[in-house]
Amino acid sequence: VMTSALPNEGKTTSSINLALSLAQAGAKVVLVEADLRRPKVPLYLEMSSMSEGLSDLISGPKKLTPQAVKAMLHPYESTGLKVLLSGKIPPNPSELLSSHKFEELIEMLRKQFEYVIIDCPPLLPVTDAAIVSAKADGCVLIVHAGVTKKPHFIGSRDAVKAVGSTILGVIINKILGPITTD
């Protein structure tokens, strides 16, 4: 899971860059757009935001099958990266992401891919990223250098720990100039 404390800290850009780097290195990678409120992956990758995707898979009445999941995956250019877009914006994102069907989907993707990178909304405004990180191996917190305030970072760290998830690392994003220790 890739997330941050607040919006506009570079979660989606970091998710895409990590997924592309791994795919271009030869790994089997899927990027899952789990921001079901304000999805940005389709915009950044110039894919149709009208495509069916995650919300359709987990809200539909049909049983999840590997074939149904495969049909929803979009190849990104010739990079080898597969992308599962968010699909239609649902009225109940947190409920969908906390569902058993979403857990089934994550397990299916784990069996098909070496890396499952999940782009999530920020932790402090909504619970979605915390819910998803509890179902994943852990999360990477994104920090906007010079902008993310310490209490926000601590709040996001605590939200991840509160659900029993692991912080796999931190990415300091948007660094302008040399880093000082002042």
Q: pLDDT band for position 124 (50/70/90)?
A: very high
Q: For residues 175 and 119, which has the higher predicted lDDT (pLDDT)?
A: 119
- pLDDT tens for each residue of 4-55: 999 999 999 999 999 999 999 999 999 999 999 999 999 999 988 777 899 9
Q: Do 83 and 30 form a contact (C-beta atoms < 8 A)?
A: yes
pLDDT at 182 over 60: no
CA-atom Rg of the chain in angstroms? 16
The label of the residue with tokens 């190849």 reads: 75
Name the maximum alpha-carbon separation found in the chain: 56
- Of residues 154, 100, 125, the one with CA closest to residue 38: 125
- pLDDT tens for each residue of 47-105: 887 778 999 999 977 889 999 999 999 999 889 999 999 999 999 999 999 999 999 99
Burial (CB < 10 A; 0-12, 13-18, 19+), residue 79, is: middle
Instruction: Name the 3-class secondary structure at 112.
Output: helix
**Residue 139, both tokens:** 């999360």
DSSP state of 177: S
Global confidence as pTM: 0.92
